[in-house]
Amino acid sequence: MAVPSDVALSLQTKIDELKVAIENKSDNVLRIVEDILSFIKENGIESVPDVSIVPCVELVLLLRWTSNDVVAAVANVLAEVAKSAAGRERLATLQPPIAQQLVNLLQQKSSDLSVSGNLAVVTQVCRALGNMCYESELGQACVLDAEGLEVLLSVLERAILLGNDASGARTLRSVIIGFLLNLTISQPEKHQKLVTLGGIGLLCKVLELDCQTEDGCNTTNHTMVILGYLIDQVSASETVLTEKVCQTLVQVLVTFSASSAEICESVLELLQNHAEDDGVKQSLAQHGLCQLLIGLVEKHRPLIDESDEETRHLFKLATDLIVIILNEDTSMAMLYGDGKGEVYVNMLQWVNTDNTDLQTTGVLALGNFARCDLHCIKMVESGVHEDFLLLLKKHNGQEDDIRLQHALLSALRNLAIPAANKAAILKAGALDVLTPMINICTLTVAFKLLATLRMLVDGQDQAAEELGQNSQLLRKLVEYSSADCHAGVQAESSRLLAWIIKNSRSKDVGAAVVQCSALSPLVSMLCSEHAVMRNEALLALTLVSSTNLPVAEQSLADSKVCAKVADLLTQHGTSMEKPMLCNALALLGKLVLSDTLAKDLAQSGVHESLTGLSTRKDISDLNELVDKLSSALKTS
């Protein structure tokens, strides 16, 4: 490469030659411009010590030359000049503004791309404008002021119509997309305008054309970047990822999964950010995204185990997306395939791998498959619950992976919902695995643990009695019931207590509950904002009072049960459902049998609350019971 002074001298000679040729309108203009172009490309624009020697004014004049070959070559030179920061600044500050002239030329020549040479001119003009905009707010402003965005989109629309058969069509699209990226990436205020002008639809059409082969890698990569920040401008109520777009994005992954991690990341991030829409989930499931992602994960498993950061990030995007798609009923049913679906079978296999991340994904996915009673029953019949319990037994310690514990408990809870499954899960040793976790798990895991136990004791008297006589468990439930830092744990612990009492209907359990000071959480449940929890508390307290009133009397009094029942009837007595009112009256019927509690009831104003029930026309058959309770309270 020549030293700078020689470069300047050589370039100046060619420039002088060009000026003479222009003045004489010589046929040598094209050759000289091409010589200048070759010289700049060979030496690099950065090697020119002073870009001001580049004859930009003369070159601009040549943009009006009648020969398309000359115009294309001139635009090519300008594109090379704009590869340097100094060159971009020089072009952006030319008077009259060169951006306006280039935009006008772009609009003119793109009107008919079938005319000989027009496509080459448009391609090079887009290069020049795109390079002017690269990391240059001044260049971007010049192009935007010249309405370059609107013109560029119209050019893109025409370029799309060329398809892939026309010579130079792929290159033109690639250059246009690069120009659009340079023009808008640092202009967030223009993103919404680009959306309004139909930019998203055009970009999706570009993807359709360029996602078929790896030749479209750069175009696809840049298109995904633009699409990513444009879709963020669209309101949640608008459906951008139509079935056709989803199909195209899946094809992008198919084409570039082996060659471009960057494209894969862009596609997966976009899909994950917008896959909350049920229609999107269904489209992705229908077009085989989950199967594709499973294949990619399996292919790159060795890199995952080696903690390759980039691969692990892609792994997380892929596995999270599988779980998200399965969170929609139609998608889940489609991929379940009556227990023979490829995705379902693969998730079963992942549960039995030695990779915690794959195990967690597999369990989460199977938990989503278990949102249908029929699936749950078939899964338990095939022994899926045994795999879960075996895995949880290995990972139920304080130092074990919380995500896996949480996933396993969620899945087991879902499996335990159908009545037909409870006995089988209990028989597999569920309580032996689950109960020890009560003292070591975090609050987030405890929330799922308590919910799982509650599902398991429903209708299972022996299991309920086993838990109800476990004093360590009961004391932990009392502790959790006051866990103000986690409302879910607080509610689930109280509900589990109520369900243990309801399903065991055991005097011994009632005595254990009293001994462990577990009545107070149940009394507090009477004030719950949820009617179902208030009703559960009423039933549990009634059962304990029926079998253990003498030993429970003091604990009930200390818990202010009478005042809570009075408040309950005052606030909800006229509106609560009749079965719940019956439970409230049944509890009063038990409490009034205690002299101490009867006095508390009288002092708490329960009589007035009962009187207020007279306005209800639907409980005439309860009037005798209400009157009897009122009389008993008056006597006390």
Between the alpha carbon of residue 101 and those of residues 96, 104, 277, the distances in Å are: 8, 5, 45
- Residue-level pLDDT at 203: 96
Cα gap 218→222, rounded to integer Å? 6
| Average pLDDT taken over every residue of the chain | 91
Give me the DSSP letters along 478-513.
Answer: HHHTT-TT-HHHHHHHHHHHHHHHHHH--HHHHHHH
Q: Is 410 part of a structural domain of the chain?
A: no
Q: Are 511 and 548 in contact (CB under 8 A)?
A: yes
| Amino acid making up residue 282 | Q
Cβ pair 495, 533 in contact under 8 A: yes
Residue 430: inside a domain? no
Total residues found in the chain within this entry: 636
Query: 118 and 155 in contact (C-beta within 8 Å)?
Result: no
Q: How confident is the model at residue 633 (pLDDT cuts 50, 70, 90)?
A: confident
Domain that holds residue 597: 560-636
Mean pLDDT value across residues 62-84:
92
Of 233, 263, 294, which residue is a domain's last?
A: 233
| 145 C-beta neighbours (distance < 10 Å), count | 12
Query: What integer pLDDT is reported at residue 19 of this predicted model?
Result: 85
d(CA 225, CA 132): 20
Which amino acid is present at 428? A
346 in any annotated domain: no
DSSP for 525-551, written as a single string: HTT-SSHHHHHHHHHHHHHHHHHHHHH
Q: What is the pLDDT of residue 226?
A: 95
Residue 458 within any structural domain of the chain: no
Measuring CA to CA, which residue among 59, 47, 50, 53 is closest to residue 18?
59
Tell whether the model's pLDDT for residue 577 goes beyond 60.
yes
Please, which residues have CB within 8 angstroms of residue 586's CB and are 6 or more apart in sequence? 538, 542
Give the separation between CA 140 and CA 143, rounded to whole angstroms. 5
- DSSP letters along 439-465, please? GTS-HHHHHHHHHHHHHHHTT-HHHHH
| 90: in domain | yes
In the block, residue with structure tokens 């253990």: 548
Q: Are 332 and 371 in contact (CB under 8 A)?
A: yes
> Which among 215, 233, 251 is the end of a domain?
233
Domain assignment of residue 529, yes or no: no
Q: How many angstroms separate the CA atoms of 545 and 522, rounded? A: 12
pLDDT of residue 3: 44
Residue 453 to residue 432: CA distance in whole angstroms: 11
Q: Are 280 and 241 in contact (CB under 8 A)?
A: yes
Cβ-proximal residues to 562 (8 Å cutoff; 6+ apart), any chain: 591, 597, 600, 601, 603, 604, 606
Which of 224-228, 231-235, 577-581, 627-631 is least confident? Answer: 231-235
Residues of the chain with pLDDT > 70, as a percent, come to: 95
Helices (H), 275-401: 278-286, 289-299, 301-305, 309-325, 329-336, 342-351, 356-369, 373-381, 384-394
Distances (CA, A) of 605 to 45, 525, 568, 578: 93, 20, 11, 21
Reply yes or no: is the peptide bond before residue 96 cis, omega within 30 of 0.
yes
Q: Name residues whose C-beta falls within 8 Å of residue 9's C-beta, 6 or more positions apart in sequence.
A: none
CB 200 within 8 A of CB 167: no
Helices (H) and strands (E) in the chain, counts: 39, 0
Domain count, the chain: 2
Instruction: Show the 3-state SS of 241-302.
Output: CCHHHHHHHHHHHHHHCCCCHHHHHHHHHHHHHHCCCHHHHHHHHHCCHHHHHHHHHHHCHH
Of 29, 14, 20, 113, which is closest to residue 66 (Cα–Cα)?
A: 29
Dihedral angle, C-alpha 482, 487, 488, 492, nearest 10 °: 30
Q: Sorting pLDDT into bands at 50, 70 and 90, what band is 86?
A: confident
Per-residue pLDDT, averaged over 538-543, amounts to 98
Tell me the per-residue pLDDT of 463-516, one tens digit each, with 9 for 90 and over. 999 999 999 999 999 999 986 778 899 999 999 999 999 999 999 999 999 999
State residue 253's pLDDT score: 95
Residue of 313, 245, 238, 336 whose CA lies nearest to 284: 245
Closest CA to 271 of 281, 261, 259, 257: 281
**Mean of the pLDDT values across residues 277-297?**
95
The whole-angstrom distance between residue 428's C-alpha and the CA centroid of its chain comes to 35
Give, as one character, the DSSP assignment of residue 94.
-
Taking a C-beta distance cutoff of 8 angstroms, is the pair 398, 441 a contact?
Answer: yes
Q: What is the pLDDT of residue 26?
A: 85
CB 63 within 8 A of CB 109: no
- Alpha-carbon distance of 476 to 434, in angstroms, equals 14
pLDDT at 52 over 80: no
pTM: 0.87
Domain with residue 60: its CATH number is: 1.25.10.10
User: Which of 77-86, 428-437, 614-623 has maximum average pLDDT?
Assistant: 428-437
Cα separation, 504 vs 507, whole angstroms? 9
Q: Of 198, 233, 268, which residue is a domain's last?
A: 233
Cα–Cα distance between 472 and 477 in angstroms, integer? Answer: 9
Which of the four pLDDT bands, split at 50, 70 and 90, describes residue 236?
Answer: low
Per-residue pLDDT at 306: 66
Please report, as a single letter, which amino acid is at residue 381. Answer: E
- SS3 call for 128: helix
Does the pLDDT value for residue 2 go beyond 70?
no
